[in-house]
Structures are given as C-alpha cells and as structure tokens.
Chains A and B, each alone.
Chain A
Amino acid sequence: MAYSATFKDHLAKPRHAGELVDANAIAESTNPVCGDRLRMTLRVSDKRITGVGFLAYGCPPTLVCGSALSAAIEGVTVQEALNITKRDLLDLIGGLPSRKHHAAALAIETLRTAIESSCSEILP
C-alpha cells in the first residue's frame, strides 16, 4: 500500500521533534526485533500533557508515528493519552502496511512507559 498524504506530511514536517528540557515523564523504547528506537519527553501538569518532544531512529513509519502521536497527545489529559490504541494511531496516519505496524506499537508502548514509569502524581 502507498503511504497517505498525512504520512508524507508528518515525514516532511515532523511535529514536536526534539527533546523537551523541562520534561517530567520520559521513556525510550527499542523494538527488539528490528532495532528501531523512539524517545518521548513529556511535561505533565495537573494530569494534563502540556508539552511533548520526540526523537526517533528507524524507518519512516517510526518517525511518522512518533510525530503523529506527539501531535495527538499535546493538550489532552493523561487518561485520554493512555486510551489511545495502536489502531487509533494507524488510523491517524492513514494506515501502514502490516509489516510496518510495529512502528505504531513502539510509539504507543513508549508513551505508556513514559507515563507509567514517571512519578505517581501524574497518573490519573
């Protein structure tokens, strides 16, 4: 399948690319199978995500999933962010070939790890 216009737009203009200096929820995950890596830095205040940054090493779907997920969670509550599924993310970017679904799984896992591994006061 061909990549969607949304996919290409995220690839050309990644949203929230970079490392957040004042983050209080951070995670970096590696896909053990293919070695793709995603790092997310979040600033959470009053149970709401007020800042997001991501860094990615991997194929374009990994970069795009990092970008699209970052854009989706800025401004939402921590609970709303935790409710986002791999399928939601795939829909957001207009789908991926099945062999690239691991990129969406890595992004969701990284977000959840960032939230869950951080201090308890940010959890819902």
Chain B
Amino acid sequence: MRVGSTELARTPFMSAKRTVYLDHSATTPVDPRVVAAMTPYLTEKFGNPSSVHMLGQEARAGVDRARREVAALIGAKPNEVVFLSGGTEANNLAIRGICEASEAHGKHIITSQIEHSSVRGICEALEKRGWEVTRLPAYDNGIVRFDDVQQSLRSDTVLVTIMLANNEIGTIQPIADIGRLIQEQRAGGRKHLWLHTDAVQAAGRISIDVDELGCDLLSLSAHKLYAPKGAGALYVRRGVRLVNQNVGGHQERDRRAGTEAVPTIVAFGAAAKIAREELEQHSAYLKKLRDAFEDGVKRVIDDVVFNGDASHRLPHLSNISFRYIEGEGLLIGLDLQGVAVSTGSACSSGTLEPSPVILALGRDDELARGSIRFSFGKDNTEQDVEYVLEVLPKVVGKLRELSPLNKALSV
C-alpha cells in the first residue's frame, strides 16, 4: 500500500476461532481404536517377545499379528516385513544394507532429486565412501520419467531408489514401470540390481501391492497411518540379502537387533488393518476435501502456483506457492488463526536453502520460499475447509501488504 505518514495501514490479525490440523504428511493423530489395541501391551501384556514364558509369548503373538496386518496392507508375506523404528531407519537399512551387500558388483545408485531428506542424506554419505549417485530430475510436474531411469542404468548399478509418492507435493512416481524394468534386467542376468521405494507418504492413502510395484524393498512408517511415532517397517522381498545395520541380537530374523517396541508395533498393526479396510472410503473423502480447498483457493487468491502434477498425486495433499510472501511468515500467520501447515521456506528448514523439491520443479527461489503444504486427514471436515478459505486470504493479503516484492501491485 502507499499511504501518508499519518495513516499507515494496520490490519490486526483476528483471534483464532477454530483449530484445523492440515499437516497430516508430517504426522497424524493416533486413532482411538489404535490406542485401545496397544494399551494392554503397555500394561498387563508387557513381556519381551524373546522370552520363552507365557508373558513373552503373549507379546510375541501381538508382534506376529501386527506383522500379518502390515504385510496385508502392502500385499507382502509376513516374513518379508522387518519392524524397526520408523521411515528413516527403514530407508537406512534398505539403502545401506543392500549397497553394502552388493558392493562387489558395482557402486552406482540411481535416485531422484525429490527424495525425502533421509534418502538424500544416505546417498550423500555413500558418495563420501566412493559410491556414484545419479539423481534424476522430476521436471515441472514433479514426476520422474521412466526413460531417464532406463537410460541411467549402468553395468555397475546395484540400486534404484525412488519414492512411491513425494512428501512435499504428493506426486506419485512410476514405480510399477521401473519395477518391471528391474525385473526384466534381473531375468536377463543382472542378478545384483535392486529396487527400493520409500512408501512412507503413500501408505494408507493409495493402494500398495509390492508384486504390482515389482520392488524389492519398501519403507513404511507407522505415525503417518494414525499410529504413534516410534515404529516403522521395511519390506524385504524373499531372497534379498541385506547387511544388517543394527547388530547384537537375533530379533527380526537377524535383520534388526534390539528388543521389539511391542506396544508401538501392535499399534502399527492395528492402524495398518484400519488403513486397509477404510482405504477407499478415506481416499475418496480426502480427495473431495482437497479439491474443494484448491477450487476455493483459485477463487479467492491471485498469484498462486500449484505445485505437482494435478492428477498423479496423493489425494490428501495440496502444495501451493504464494507469490510475494515467505512461507514461514504465512505459516506463523495461519498458526495464529489456529491452522497448522508446513512450508518449504528456507527460514523454516533451518538450512537457509529453500525446498529442493520445489526448486527441482524449476520454480524460482521466491516460489520455493513461498510454498505451503496443506495435508488433509480423515478427521478434517468441510467446515475446516471453509474456515481455512476464510482466514487464508486475509493472512496472505496482510503479508502481501507488508511485502516489498509486491510494490508494483500496491502502488
């Protein structure tokens, strides 16, 4: 705005009328049915699954039941599921484990520019140990191209690790196509070429079948599925050999030493069962909320850019860049109104660099810094969407009034 010295514009924030959690890609609240399933394992069923006595065997039965449920969620066999602490550990065991087991056959990895920070970090660590990493682009729609994977395969490639769905923009990657390619290559004699996919964001939001995907390793996290933090799983296809990263115990068939976190694993199993049974219903509901939200944003706010392919993406997620403003300012402004979201802004990440995922789409620095992720959950309502559409334009408008980047519009 351009104002005289005596009439400087002030538009106070309103006080929050409602709390709306739109950060389900960061974590989800625990489903009350999951709490009910895990509670006995915090109290009377406290045994160690490695113990031979009845209390131990009771805990073992709980873990085994959870293993069957997690396996069923992804179309795997129970003995192909390794429980561990979460998605990051699953990615570590998958990538480090397979690379260390295969390094006599080559030291080349193919990944993408839009992987979760854990996969990025593991690949960087391996590079320091002499591995070569090819990072494929995701283009302006946020999707890796099958042809790029095919053309990047080398005789010394041992691992392709590409996420099933992106955590910031929700785009779904062509893993089934890549899986067929890897299986063809293996059938043709390349016995040490493997496919890992990080399915932490996809699980419970889209249907997953490890045989349809053709992957050898697949990472899961419990707390994105309405279970508590502290449990995850790695699917390891039968016959795939990993070098274990946690040693000193025989748990998880020697793949992950350490006493199983029985209550959170039981909770993970209960959440996986609910996710499988209610998947279709929830996905359709989340898509309806998300689409209504995006239609509303297009209607009430100018100068926005939607990030990620509109059709090939998770049903619950919307990533939007707001021109002229910085994401953390918008995040805090929305937080003051009771709306919880996350941002790809540099300030927020603590790295000084804005989101590499948004930059990988070819967006400029300002759009990367002004990106906000809205991720819906099964407990959100149409009233939540209406409320966010009421407060979002006000917060955006206020920050744009303050922005020196907006001068051309404000004069």
Contact = CB atoms under 8 A, between A and B. Distances in A.
B328 A59 contact: yes
Interface stretch (A15-23, A78-86, A87-95, A113-121): A15-23
Interface in A22-72: 22, 28, 33-39, 43, 50-51, 53, 55-60, 62-63
Interface string B179-210: 00000000000000000000000000000000
A21 B404 contact: no
A35 B403 contact: no
A16 B6 CA distance: 9
A1 interface: no
B12 to A, nearest CB: 5
Given A34-B346, A43-B5, A12 B12 contact: yes
Interface string B1-39: 111110011101100000000000000000000000000
A102 B398 CA distance: 23
B282 interface: no
B407 interface: yes
Contacts of A63: 329, 399, 402
Contacts, number: 94
A58 B343 CA distance: 13
A2 to B, nearest CB: 13
Given A12-B336, A17-B402, A28-B404, A57 B324 contact: yes
B350 A22 contact: no
B16 to A, nearest CB: 11
Contact of A34 (B2, B5, B325, B352): B352
Contacts of B404: 28, 37-39, 55-57
Interface in A94-124: 99-100
B13 A33 contact: no
A55 B329 contact: no
Chain A facing B: main interface SS: mixed
B4 A21 contact: yes
By size class, the interface of chain B is 20 to 34
Nearest to A51: B5
Contacts of A12: 12-13, 336
A124 B137 CA distance: 56
B329 A53 contact: no
B332 A11 contact: yes
A19 B407 contact: yes
Q: Which of B324, B350, B404 has the most CB of A within 10 A?
A: B404
Contacts of A59: 326, 328-329, 345, 347-348
Contacts of B405: 37, 57
Interface in B348-379: 348, 350, 352, 365, 369
A57 B4 CA distance: 21
Nearest to A103: B347
Contacts of A53: 3, 5, 8
B13 A17 contact: no
A57 B347 contact: no
A57 B332 contact: no
A17 B9 contact: yes
B10 A13 contact: yes
A91 B352 CA distance: 24
B338 to A, nearest CB: 14
Interface of A: 8, 11-22, 28, 33-39, 43, 50-51, 53, 55-60, 62-63, 99-100
Interface of B: 1-5, 8-10, 12-13, 324-326, 328-329, 332-333, 336, 345-348, 350, 352, 365, 369, 399, 401-405, 407, 410
Q: Which 10 A-B pairs have the closest CB atoms?
A: A59-B347, A51-B5, A55-B404, A59-B328, A39-B404, A12-B13, A18-B8, A60-B332, A18-B3, A57-B403
